Amino acid sequence: MMTQGYFITGTDTDAGKTCATIALMRYFKRQGKTVLGMKPVASGCTLHAGELKNADALLIQGNASIAVDYQLINPYAYELPVSPHIAGVHNPVELATVVERFNSLKALADVIIVEGAGGWYAPLNAQDDISDLAKALALPVILVVGLRLGCINHAKLSYQAIQLSGITCIGWIAVCVDPDLLNREENIQTIKAALPVPLLGILPYQEQLDFELLADQLTP
């Protein structure tokens, strides 16, 4: 059976990609499928037993159906919380390495969810950005829209950029990242009307993350 796979991109940094990624992992696990996640590139990592690891990547590792080595999930872990092309100047991202690790994971599970870094055009190295990574993995894209002031513009621009890259966007997920956003429902409806792909779920704002509750909100 062919492994299902999805690439998760966001309208910006901190749009809620990790919340959406883990909610999707929980969603597919409920369907009885073996699920793995991947965060190929992560900035802002800390040392764990002498090894740089990222908090979001550790969450993804912890929510997998199968125990796999951290290096498969997050091959490029950078200490500085800055753009990967800056943080990784001495160890730049190589797309071929990411594809190799992805293929290793793909062989182990029914579903694999890959979380990008930053937005669609966030640079990974001197020549490649997130869109190039998504192309290299040949996965359909789910766009995560962080609901905050300016999100309508960001959603429309991001969707247009995905289309221009020649990659299929199969839907979008709204994540309530700003609890004080005014007219949230109107923002959601405006984006829903603007994007010709389905809204796959609305993830509520949470002080303490409850991924089972988030998974309840998804309808892929």
Cα Rg, the chain, nearest whole Å: 16
Catalytic residue among 17, 29, 33, 39: 39
39 is annotated as an active-site residue = yes
Beta-carbon contacts of residue 127 (< 8 Å; ≥ 6 apart):
none
What is the CA angle 199-177-56, rounded to 5? 95
Count of CB atoms within 10 A of residue 163's CB?
Answer: 14
Q: In whole angstroms, what is the distance from residue 4 CA to residue 140 CA?
A: 10
CA proximity to 124, closest of 71, 169, 82: 82
CA proximity to 55, closest of 25, 35, 36, 79: 79
Strand partners, 112: 5, 36
Q: In whole angstroms, what is the distance from residue 143 CA to residue 180 CA?
A: 22
Angle between helices 95-106 and 130-137 (to 10 degrees): 40
What is the CA angle 114-118-124, rounded to 5? 85
Q: What is the set of active-site residues?
A: 39
